[in-house]
Structure 1
């Protein structure tokens, strides 16, 4: 009988038989400035033998420390619901590969070692599995990713900004129904569902006292919504400081689950986010304010760190920073070594998740845990099969709609797919209770391509438009519209900046400078300079007439932009530019007066394809480059 069985009892065979984790209120201060804790359920498939969480009716911790140990931290971040995926190269079983690597590491662990498995957030939103989350609590079926994590032995996770893309009540259902592990955030406060996550926890693994703290970014997260008006993201620095001062004497090692983002040296690449307080700040804080080794397990920026070893840029004395890219391309590994109570060093590397290959272009048996795939992932896929396999129509044989072509077009000018989406929403707006819109807008990063000359299913639309954006209506004056366009032209990428043309920016990725696409009645030109910040706006018309600054326009935007995401909160645009370009606040206009339609951009596009387009996805139904944007 191994150590885990001795300490935790016989592991339960199915997820249905495990107990959900349910959190408690976070106001846990006791008299004499002590903090109260109580035991929380552990994931019996994980490596933590006990978990202590803050509780109003708990007791102070009285745990014995350990002087000699190795803590192996296996970590993922920004999986975005990619449990498995298919491509021209073949099927990739991301989650089944990760589960195999976690299981193998635990089986091989020594007597003085613990192996924990953690996530740094943004586990949801970005694949067809989002369909199982439903559009409202009444249609929620499951969190496929939390269910899979639980089966793979996840020990702890943090709430990322995309966990709240749908209603917060759906977020708490994700946790209460399918997370058999604690979910943390010390600075996400005020929600009516606060009692479903913890700020921090102390976990015990092979006698090692591990202090876990969760931190969530205030960037690109839905807060203060109509259904959860007091939900806010407080200062991560203060939350971190408070947690460390309370737990320092009770832990041997720290694991900071940070969905704040990496703000260190990116070795020549343009940073994706400008962060007021990021992982480097967390590492410096831990180095100065704790005597215990700290591993900052990061997410949010999709950064590939420590691919072969712990890089010097991520080493801060007793603190280190780790991140494993995104979408399950890697499983990160960090090993913290402590001897005689002193930090001896931290090692790190990334374990690659192999793409589909070989005969039949599928994963080979040696690549993944076939039993895990069959037991947990296949049933989830089966529940989606009928829905995702629904036939919607057929694309013409036009290259502009392909994934490869659109990946480039969406960043450098017109995108046939974006044109199709926006024009479809304008058409569908005739059925909106609030009336027809003049202009529809969508951000470049949310637009992918479609198979060319093939039958199209619902699943293909999910791949083309992976994010569950609602339609929000705002009124803009002509002067505001012109100011938005002035900002937008600074955000377009020059062809020379992209990797296919010798640049360093990969258009297959998430290049969030914030470039926007518009429906057909709005037309304009961009005279390019040596750098996009030098670009000039020319020839702006609406219905072939110059824009009247005083005219009101009814504009359909997506909820991503309405919340200031994609660098549309008024901040300067800096990513890859020679100097900052003036920003524009779509968020500010939406906060003044907007209508939340409750309609999904994707759903309206699907309705358009089914009805007005009669299943035809071609130039006649709107998939075209028509000169609404000229770049010269």
Structure 2
């Protein structure tokens, strides 16, 4: 006679088996931080609901990590690049060693390389990774910790190789790191924007090649599959932005409105389907979108704004037996400093580290510079680089004023070199006071001034390069210009035809295509940085190596601060 097993008994038997044989499925949480840029303290942020708060800062970031690890001990902390470089004074004046120390203490496992990791060159980046005090800037190195040990996490980049000219083979960086989490093997494969040589000092990366990001990642996928990894997550320092008119925000889950011309969209469409999710950076945007992989299946592509305002979160159910991800969910978490401070949940250890860094730079950081006529002068809405800004005009005016003794008549400033409002909304002071730390946050690179001659035709070509080549589409970079220089552009026109030379004027008079004009700019831009290659053809070039762009701005603010306003001057107009 056939016997039946009661359902209740069957359930109990399965439950007993689960005790004897642990589930092959592991819940893994991945938290990602992109474009931190050494912002140890919180900065201003506007939430998706329109609330203006202070967000980020190592005390609040660590508190978020603490909570995540309490909820799920299988939590991995990773980076999307630009963790260091272009940093405020509290980290930047100490060669970003406090930021590395903070990330170490937070338990970061791995990070993609970012272009700003290369700001001080490959040799210095390797020191930041491996430790030691043999720096190209001994005045800053090992001043936070005389025994700087380096990063305990690995910077990775599958698309970074030694160039043939270097005489070396291979790469100074690993392409991936495999992290074992509760028995699950989670692979993180990294890449950095292939445009890095055009947006950092060329000398610093002269021994390196930066290859196609998707191709480089795809090349190592077979190697990872051979290791039977259970999940693959891509960390890439390249990004995009939401399409014009999109109502999605960083808080929208599963958005499908990433601008199709964004670099990250092209990359995501080509990256091997074995990659479950892509944590991105570089464009300083917040989004949580879906982009089809090469098979047409939607895949998570997420970015968390910048300066630690958001943490990118992936929740993965990973099957260790089948070596696959069962489910993947994603969200951007707001790192609300104000709320945590009010609740008393800021991390005390990070507070101690921040206080130590502040103490070491305080005497310089707190030096008064000026009192503005307005609470702040801003660099544009949402860090936009495709528009004229009030602060951009002030910086260009400062550079022109500082180089008039060299015959300069026009100054140009690259918008990517303007890193903060003056001051940030988190640092507003009585009497609209501005200190040295506020100015350092605006221009932290340590660039110096250059003057050169350009013909009127070359100036037209320079303005055309704002919209073409490496600056095409979503990458448009509108140079900020000095008083007396004006022009009009038509964005809808074809490459090379967006600016009519008759609409380029100096002192109200159209420039002469054959005449020479003395222009001022920083040394990064003068070397053709940010894809402004025509500047490499300038003549009668004078490098003012002892005149830093930071000192130029400080001196201009001291002389003119009380007269400056947060007003866009209308030197650039669009048809």
| TM-score category, normalised to shorter length | 0.7 to 0.9
Once the two structures are superposed, residues 167-216 of structure 1 have per-residue CA deviations (whole angstroms, 9 ceiling, x without a partner) of 33332332223311111111122277987532222232322222221101
By how many angstroms is 1:478 displaced?
1.2
Once the two structures are superposed, residues 255-296 of structure 1 have per-residue CA deviations (whole angstroms, 9 ceiling, x without a partner) of 2111122488788279689455x3563465321xx4xx6332
Matches for 1:487-502 after TM superposition, within 5 Å: none
Q: Secondary structure at the match of 1:393?
A: strand
CA contact (8 A) 1:260 1:279 kept: no
Q: Secondary structure at the match of 1:403?
A: coil
Indicate the residue corresponding to 2:179 in structure 1: 203
By how many angstroms is 1:457 displaced?
0.7
Match among 80, 93, 99 for residue 120 of structure 1: 80
Distance 1:183 1:268, change over 3 A: same
By how many angstroms is 1:436 displaced?
4.1
Q: Does 1:424 align with 2:378?
A: no
CA distance in 1, matches of 2:54, 2:185: 40
CA distance in 2, matches of 1:482, 1:318: 43
CA contact (8 A) 1:286 1:319 kept: no
CA contact (8 A) 2:91 2:357 kept: no
By how many angstroms is 1:449 displaced?
3.9
What residue ranges of structure 2 are gaps of 5+ in the alignment?
1-22, 46-51, 132-149, 248-256, 469-473
CA contact (8 A) 1:93 1:368 kept: no
CA distance in 2, matches of 1:609, 1:312: 46
Q: Secondary structure at the match of 2:357?
A: helix
Distance 1:477 1:348, change over 3 A: same
Once the two structures are superposed, residues 428-484 of structure 1 have per-residue CA deviations (whole angstroms, 9 ceiling, x without a partner) of 2367xxx44332101345553456953321022134445554434443211121344
CA distance in 2, matches of 1:489, 1:236: 23
Distance 1:224 1:425, change over 3 A: closer
Q: Does 1:300 align with 2:282?
A: yes
Matches for 1:582-597 after TM superposition, within 5 Å: 586-590=532-536, 597=544
Using CA pairs below 8 Å that are at least 6 residues apart, which structure has the higher relative contact order? 2
CA distance in 2, matches of 1:154, 1:68: 24
CA distance in 1, matches of 2:465, 2:437: 34
Q: Secondary structure at the match of 1:146?
A: helix
Match among 531, 550, 566 for residue 602 of structure 1: 550
Indicate the residue corresponding to 1:403 in structure 2: 378
Match among 455, 458, 470 for residue 480 of structure 1: 458
Number of residue pairs matched by the alignment: 497
CA distance in 2, matches of 1:279, 1:414: 27
Distance 1:195 1:76, change over 3 A: same
CA contact (8 A) 1:72 1:333 kept: yes
CA contact (8 A) 1:438 1:554 kept: yes
By how many angstroms is 1:624 displaced?
8.2
Indicate the residue corresponding to 2:154 in structure 1: 182
Distance 1:220 1:256, change over 3 A: same
CA distance in 2, matches of 1:624, 1:90: 24
By how many angstroms is 1:337 displaced?
1.2
Indicate the residue corresponding to 1:347 in structure 2: 329
By how many angstroms is 1:95 displaced?
1.9
Match among 267, 272, 279 for residue 286 of structure 1: 272
Indicate the residue corresponding to 2:136 in structure 1: none
By how many angstroms is 1:152 displaced?
0.5
CA contact (8 A) 1:471 1:556 kept: yes
CA distance in 2, matches of 1:273, 1:484: 26
CA distance in 2, matches of 1:456, 1:365: 30
Once the two structures are superposed, residues 78-104 of structure 1 have per-residue CA deviations (whole angstroms, 9 ceiling, x without a partner) of 122222225596755532222122223
What residue ranges of structure 1 are gaps of 5+ in the alignment?
1-65, 135-139, 491-510, 570-585
Q: Secondary structure at the match of 2:234?
A: strand
Q: Secondary structure at the match of 2:203?
A: coil
CA distance in 1, matches of 2:282, 2:481: 27
Distance 1:429 1:97, change over 3 A: same
Distance 1:554 1:84, change over 3 A: same
CA distance in 2, matches of 1:489, 1:109: 46
CA distance in 2, matches of 1:279, 1:94: 30
By how many angstroms is 1:354 displaced?
1.0
CA distance in 1, matches of 2:156, 2:331: 25
Match among 486, 509, 516 for residue 479 of structure 2: 516
CA distance in 2, matches of 1:383, 1:74: 30
Indicate the residue corresponding to 2:101 in structure 1: 147
Match among 479, 482, 488 for residue 526 of structure 1: 488
Indicate the residue corresponding to 1:439 in structure 2: 410
Distance 1:334 1:196, change over 3 A: same
CA distance in 2, matches of 1:232, 1:475: 31
By how many angstroms is 1:162 displaced?
1.8
CA contact (8 A) 1:223 1:231 kept: no
CA contact (8 A) 1:416 1:625 kept: yes
CA distance in 1, matches of 2:501, 2:151: 50
Q: Does 1:392 align with 2:372?
A: no
By how many angstroms is 1:590 displaced?
2.0
Q: TM-score under structure 2 normalisation? A: 0.73
Q: Does 1:239 align with 2:185?
A: no
CA distance in 1, matches of 2:378, 2:201: 36
186-195 vs 336-345, greater mean Cα deviation: 186-195
By how many angstroms is 1:143 displaced?
2.7
